[in-house]
Amino acid sequence: MNRVPINLNVNGKATRSDVEPRQLLVHFLRDTLGLTGTHVGCDTSQCGACTVHVDGEAVKSCTLFAVQADGASVTTIEGLAHEGRLHALQEGFWEMHGLQCGFCTPGMIMSAADLLAHEPDPSEEQIRHALEGNFCRCTGYHNIVRAVRHAAEANARGASSEPVVAADD
């Protein structure tokens, strides 16, 4: 199959690649770049496990061909921690036990980050509404709601997060 060149900035790093036109962004991230933190949980764009940020907006990366992301800046869960510090949401999910098996967690965090970018002080209802496109089968969402609130409150306080201890890339 013919290949198409694309240029992306992924987690702050410029990358150039030749891709099959039919390749989904999520498979490009996972299989070509080895960024396996972004997961695939369904094939109908419901579960949200593959959520990443494309030019700052949360996008289910299974809904986009890699070629459609040409020229874009993509942030994945691996790129969320900043200057060696966990993102407030990573911290919040850890503090509030907002994850169990961890499979939905990257997508959940990326969606929640999008919410906080638009609404820094969301109510429980706003959090639940914003995350209805991300399935979690383990937590019943109870601690996910608390995790997002934890992050919102930490941001409001200007608290600094713990250093990344396990991002062994």
Partner 1 sequence: MSDKYFGKPVKRVEDPRFITGTGHYTEDMTLPGMAHAAMLRSPYASARIVSIDATRALAQPGVLAVLTGKDLLDAKIGSIPTGWLLPDLKTPPHYAIAPEVARHVGDVIAAVIAEDRATAEDAVALLDVELEPMDAVALGSDALAPAAPQVHPEAPGNVAFEWEIGDAAAVEENFARAYRTVKLTLRNHRLVPNAIEPRASMAQYQKASDEFTLWTTSQNPHIHRLLLAAFVLGIPEHKLRVISPDVGGGFGSKIFQYPEEVIVLHAARKLNRPVKWSARRSESFVSDAQGRDHETVAELAVDEHHKVLGLRVKTVANLGAYLTTFAPAVPTYLYGTLLNGTYRFPAVHAHVTGVFTNTVGVDAYRGAGRPEATYVVERMMSRMAHELGIDPAEFRRLNFIQPDEFPYQTPVALVYDSGNYEPALDQALERVGYAELRREQEEARARGRYIGIGFSSYLEACGLAPSKLVGQLGAQAGQWESAVVRVMPTGKVEVLTGSHSHGQGHETAFAQIIADDLQIPMEDVSIIHGDTGRMPYGWGTYGSRSAAVGGSAMKMATAKILDKARRIAAHLLEAAPEDVVHEDGKFFVRGVPANSKSFFDVALMAHLAHNIPDDMEPGLEAQHFYDPKNFVYPFGTHVAVVEVDADTGRVKLLKYVAVDDCGPMINPLIAEGQVHGGIAQGVGQALLENTVYDEQGQLVTGSFMEYAVPRADDLVQFDIGHTVTPSPHNPLGVKGIGEAGTIASTAATANAVIDALAPFGIAHLDMPYTPERVWRAIQAARAQTQQAADD
Candidates 53-61, 64-72, 121-129, 152-160: pick the segment binding partner 1 (CB under 8 A).
121-129
**Nearer of residues 71 and 129 to partner 1, judged by Cβ:** 129
Stretch that binds partner 1, among 53-61, 64-72, 150-158, 159-167 (CB under 8 A): 159-167
Q: Please report the beta strands in 51-128, taking only residues with DSSP state E, as ranges in sequence order.
A: 51-54, 57-60, 73-75
Kindly identify the residues of this chain, within the stretch 51-70, that bind partner 1 according to CB under 8 A.
none
| Site for partner 1 contains 145 (CB under 8 A) | yes
Outline where DSSP puts E strands in the chain.
Answer: 4-10, 13-19, 51-54, 57-60, 73-75
107 closest CA partner among 30, 57, 44, 47: 47
The one among 61, 76, 88, 114 contacting partner 1 by CB under 8 A: 76
- How are strands ordered across the β-sheet holding 4-10? 13-19, 4-10, 73-75, 51-54, 57-60
Q: Does 83 bind partner 1 (CB under 8 A)?
A: no
Identify the CA nearest to 129 among candidates 113, 145, 105. 145
- Chain residues binding partner 1 by CB under 8 A are 20, 22, 30, 35-44, 46-47, 49, 76-78, 80-81, 86, 90, 93-95, 97, 99-106, 109, 124-125, 127-129, 131-145, 164-169
